[in-house]
A and B are shown apart, each in its own frame.
Chain A
Amino acid sequence: MNTLLLVTILMPLAGSLLAWGGALRARRSALVTTLFVLGMAGTLCFSYPPQAARYAATELRWFADAPLDIRFSLALDGLSVWLVGLTALLSVVAVLVSWDAIQDQAARFYRLLLVLEAGMLGAFAARDIVLFYVFFEFTLIPLFFLIGIWGSEERQHAAVKFFLYTLAGSVLTFLGLLAIVLWASPPGRWTFSIPELTARLMVDPLPHGVQLWIFVALFAGFAIKVPLFPLHTWLPLAHVQAPTAGSVILAGLLLKIGTYGFLRFSVPLLPQATAVCMPWLLGLSVGGILYGALVALAQSDIKRLIAYSSVSHLGFCMLGIFSLTAPGVQGGALQMVNHGLSTGGLFAIVGMLYERYHTRQMKDLGGLARRLPVLSFFALVLVLSSIGLPGLNGFAGEFLLLLGMFQQAFVSGSQGLQVLAVLSVLGVVLGAWYMLKLVQQVFFGPLREPAASHGPPVRDLNAREVAALTPLVVFMVWIGVAPGFFLDRMGPTLDYLTAPAMRARCEMSNADGQIEIGSAGCDRDQFAAAAVRVGGAARTGVQTTVSRTQD
């Protein structure tokens, strides 16, 4: 029993009890709490041994009545450990960017923020299906209030839409998760333990028809959360109306619960259904990539632009995960973290601009690079990371996941997938286009500021704001330069989680006679091993490219 993880998750709750009183006291205690949590989460991340599947596990009986065995079970593996770290990091950022922006009912704001942090940490660390769902669903309540009380003009509508949309999907997910428990449990005992169910279903998968139904049920909730095109319609409204901290957390973390859910439940527990649905999901992902990018291109509101770019980027994550190849999955998982860092940071930048100029319109702003050099520097780095410049994190993730996608498309020889793979590259180009358009318009060119902004003169970033953005940039460079450190620790877990689905996909292709490599047919383990080798090669490739660019 390792209590560090448990304490990490309970800490924000304790902190939220302390965040009473005036605004200053509330935000100070929130900052101290999140920093403590960051310290503990950092310890967990960097002491994580690369192969561990159940790191820092805690298990308590919770709801145990003879056949039912629901436990308060927490643990980390190579997938969740980074998301826990990201949550702790972005929570600090969220507190820092709200420092001056939130004056109204500040104590309540920080209490909700801390409760939200606890919910997300719990969702990523839960190793029991019910516990996962409890945290997953619970995150809705604080975010509902954060958007509805401190959001912009249409906040009430946005909050309710966000809540109902997400709830409608997640109740079906809940049913799907229950169905997995009911079908896959050993006789006489209902187990809700995710590792145990994963292990059981790897040996003895469910009947295909059942898998498909459950997959659809799980899809309903996770795809809305991601959000996968065309279920994304709640996102722009919620992102734009939310206060800055809400947008940072929503984009940076909450969307990841969707992709995390796919990786944690759909893919490993329902491998055959995953293999069958893969082309459809890839199609939706590419649809989202292109649609999100095109709509982003048409935006004049910076916050909306970034919101739509999230649709596009999350499409890339899903593309990687459902390419069902080792590099693709690793790229997808890495891209989850990357998107959290870059888009979280970009929303923070939008918030900082808004605090200074009270506008989010691109046409009102221009040439800020000379006026606000520090802010512009950070914005530029975040944008470059977001479009995947080699040397920053975005490149490592996108390269790997596109590699995976191409590998899947051209190894399986399916023409549809090949078209999708090519189209997804178009998404990268579009991504660079809208982001650079944003940078060009707002930060370069002739200086343009909204006339006569009342209040104090506009100043560049202060120390607090720099402190909020610096850690993001540090991690972006770190992941960009040495993705191996992170991939080595993600790899084994991801391989374990996706191996059955890869095998199922391979068997399916075999049956269709599509597979071309090694005409003797694909030995599953050989295929998996080959995929892992390619992944390794790609990783070295990324590193070499990076070092070359640095030379």
Chain B
Amino acid sequence: MTIQTLYLLSPEILLVIAALAIYLGGAFLPEGRKPVRLAMAAILAAALVLGLTRYEGIHFGPLMLDQLATATRWLALVFGALLLPMAVRGIREPHGSEYVGTFLLALVGLMLAGSADELVLLFLGLELISIPTYILLYLGRGDAAAREATAKYFFLSLLASALLLYGFSFLYGATGTTELAGIRDHLSAVGAKNGAAGRLVKIAIVLIVAGLGFRITAVPFHFYAPDVYQGTSHANAALLAILPKVAGMVVLLRIVAGAMPNLAGEACRLLLILALASMTFGNVVALWQNHLRRLMAYSSIAHTGYLLLGLAAGLAAVPGGNGWDGLTAVLFYLAVYAAATLGTFAAFAYLGRDERPLEAVEELTGLGRTRPLAALALGGFMFSLTGIPPLAGFWGKLAVFGSALGVGAGNAVSPMGLWLTVITVAAVVNSAISAAYYLRIVSTMYFRAPLGTPRAEGGPAAAWTAGICAVLVLLLGLYCAPLWSVAADVACPATIAVPVEGR
């Protein structure tokens, strides 16, 4: 840790200081006041600092400040600014300042996980997401269901962290370094497939994927998600559906695609199995759900499947292959998914009441007439998650499926290409299945006579968040080239770092 490292981490440090100030100052706040303004100001300041920090190169000690890191940090800040105001609304006094401070720490966790180039810092970043999340879950709602959800998440999250750490230790044992660049150099120099070291690395991959699989809710590490989503508030569910998933995918990208290029084949097979299981299980089980957050939990599991398919395609891509890059597709999909999911939860939160949030699909009945704008936005998110053009989700699916199919196309038919093609067919069938439950929400809103005007008392913040996400989803659907080129730039360094012969 040099002075320069501290300088480069100044946005994160700023947020941590703000969080501590909020913890301490919360005691002095009058009853009923929550320090949201201060937190928003801190996020804004962090964004300013992030925008103004200048540096040359990408490696700084334990940090890797490439475009992936920059994009993740920006995403964390934007996500935080959109979610925080609506999230604090339902928090019981006197926990307002605790919630806000902890929320900021979770954001710092994502920012660190995105910019770490070293196993220990990576783990630190991931834990900085998990540990605040326990508290946020508990503070979100005070009832028995929330306590159950918190306990469940706590224990399983600990298990996942242990698995991940165990995997890291194998990786360290095989290569003798904790730096990702060092691991990559070592693996490509020794030839990772042979000897005891090779076996250790394979075990490491399995353990790391299992540990991160929990964060991204991949089947079979998903089973906490439905209960936890159901047992918490809409805002917390949005947090869980996005923050750990982004972090998990970014870290997976960094480790599997960036640091272990020689083992791309093994990793790819593993990810394909998880992808198929996640999307099929998520979509099929979601068909029977009637609880909104439970349904969205299974939907989030299914989307993990598509993301993993894109990642596998990125790993399996042939050298010099053209077209959609799988890694770019994953990042693009992640952004699009985050917008639609955040918007959905914000709309749910807006339509409920503080003391009684929206729970069942039936509560949306007739919304097309009683709350036309909210219904329009929600309908847009549902169609986007299904992948119907011209909404953003369509382009995400186009890119993921195109990249997966691209591996199998061409004249050299590899077994991996064939597998990817088969699983892509399964994936499109899955997105048709997913339409059934997304449409159920839409048809409930529009095709049934309203039972009475729902008391939309979720507050203006939730309405704004839903509105902003809806506009994003539509605009990106009509013209997605800007986001795509950002995603391509971001994915590029992660792929350039990969030696060509290993891919």
Contacts and interface: CB of A to CB of B under 8 A. Distances in A.
B118 to A, nearest CB: 32
A12 to B, nearest CB: 15
A364 interface: no
The B contact surface, by secondary structure, is helix
A134 B386 CA distance: 14
B197 interface: no
A94 B443 CA distance: 24
Interface stretch (A169-177, A297-305, A443-451, A484-492): A169-177
Contacts of A163: 435, 439
Interface in A133-155: 133-135, 137-138, 140-141, 144-145, 148-149, 155
A182 B406 contact: yes
A378 B164 CA distance: 75
Contact of A156 (B323, B395, B448, B481): B448
B409 A156 contact: no
Contacts of A167: 386, 388, 432, 435
A182 B432 contact: no
B441 to A, nearest CB: 11
A133 B390 CA distance: 10
Interface in B297-324: 322-324
A175 B479 contact: no
A26 B262 CA distance: 63
Interface in B407-445: 409-410, 424-425, 428-429, 431-432, 435-436, 439-440, 442-443
B398 interface: yes
Contacts of B484: 63, 65
B480 interface: yes
Nearest to A156: B447
Contacts of B388: 137-138, 140-141, 167
Interface in A168-189: 168, 171-172, 174-175, 178-179, 182-183, 187-189
A164 B436 contact: yes
B418 to A, nearest CB: 11
B446 interface: yes
Interface residues of B, number: 40
B402 A178 contact: yes
A174 B428 contact: yes
A179 B394 contact: no
A28 to B, nearest CB: 22
A182 B447 CA distance: 40
A190 interface: yes
Contacts of B402: 178, 182
Nearest to B322: A67
Contacts of A168: 429, 432
A62 B484 CA distance: 11
A160 B398 CA distance: 23
A159 interface: yes
A376 to B, nearest CB: 35
A108 to B, nearest CB: 8
A465 to B, nearest CB: 29
Contacts of B410: 182-183
A217 to B, nearest CB: 8
Nearest to A105: B369
Given A68-B323, A175-B428, A63 B480 contact: yes
Interface in A269-291: none
A74 interface: no
Contacts of B440: 160
A171 B429 CA distance: 7
B4 interface: no
B443 A175 contact: no
Given A168-B429, A171-B429, A65 B446 contact: no
Given A138-B390, A159-B443, A179 B428 contact: no
Contact of A62 (B435, B436, B442, B479): B479
A174 B400 CA distance: 13
B485 A65 contact: yes
B323 A190 contact: yes
Nearest to B387: A171
B463 interface: no
Contacts of A187: 322
Given A149-B446, A168-B429, A67 B390 contact: no
B488 interface: yes
Given A68-B324, A182-B323, A160 B443 contact: yes
A64 B481 contact: yes
Contact of A179 (B386, B405, B435): B405
Interface residues of A, number: 40
Contacts of A189: 322
Nearest to A133: B389
Contacts of A531: none
Contacts of B480: 63
B281 interface: no
Interface string B450-470: 000000000000000000000
Given A164-B439, A182-B405, A134 B431 contact: no
A68 B406 CA distance: 12
B401 interface: yes
B250 to A, nearest CB: 21
Contacts of A178: 398, 401-402, 405
B168 interface: no
Interface string B378-404: 000001001011100011001001100
B323 A67 contact: yes
A91 B151 CA distance: 58
Interface string A87-123: 0000000000000000001000000000000000000
A130 interface: yes
Interface in B471-502: 479-481, 484-485, 488
A235 to B, nearest CB: 18
B447 A172 contact: no
A171 B431 contact: yes
Given A134-B394, A141-B388, A175 B432 contact: no
A145 B322 contact: no
B106 to A, nearest CB: 33
B425 A172 contact: yes
A183 B447 contact: no
Nearest to A67: B322
A174 B397 CA distance: 11
Contact of A164 (B323, B432, B442, B448): B432
Contacts of B386: 167
Nearest to B407: A182
B432 A62 contact: no
B391 to A, nearest CB: 9
Max chain B Cβ within 10 angstroms of own Cβ: one of A134, A178, A179? A178
Nearest to B488: A65
A67 B328 CA distance: 13
Nearest to A148: B447
Given A134-B390, A138-B390, A182-B405, A149 B322 contact: no
Nearest to B424: A175
Interface string A203-244: 000000000000000000000000000000000000000000
A156 B435 contact: no
A140 B391 CA distance: 13
B323 A141 contact: no
Contacts of B401: 174-175, 178
A148 B443 contact: yes
A313 to B, nearest CB: 28
A66 B491 CA distance: 14
A248 to B, nearest CB: 21
12 contacts: A66-B322, A67-B323, A68-B323, A144-B442, A148-B446, A149-B446, A149-B447, A164-B435, A171-B431, A175-B424, A175-B425, A175-B428
Report the 5 A-B pairs with minimum CB-CB distance, sorted nearest first: A182-B409, A67-B322, A134-B389, A171-B428, A168-B432
Given A65-B488, A172-B428, 15 more contacts: A63-B395, A65-B485, A66-B322, A67-B322, A67-B323, A137-B389, A138-B389, A164-B432, A168-B429, A174-B428, A178-B402, A179-B405, A182-B323, A182-B409, A187-B322
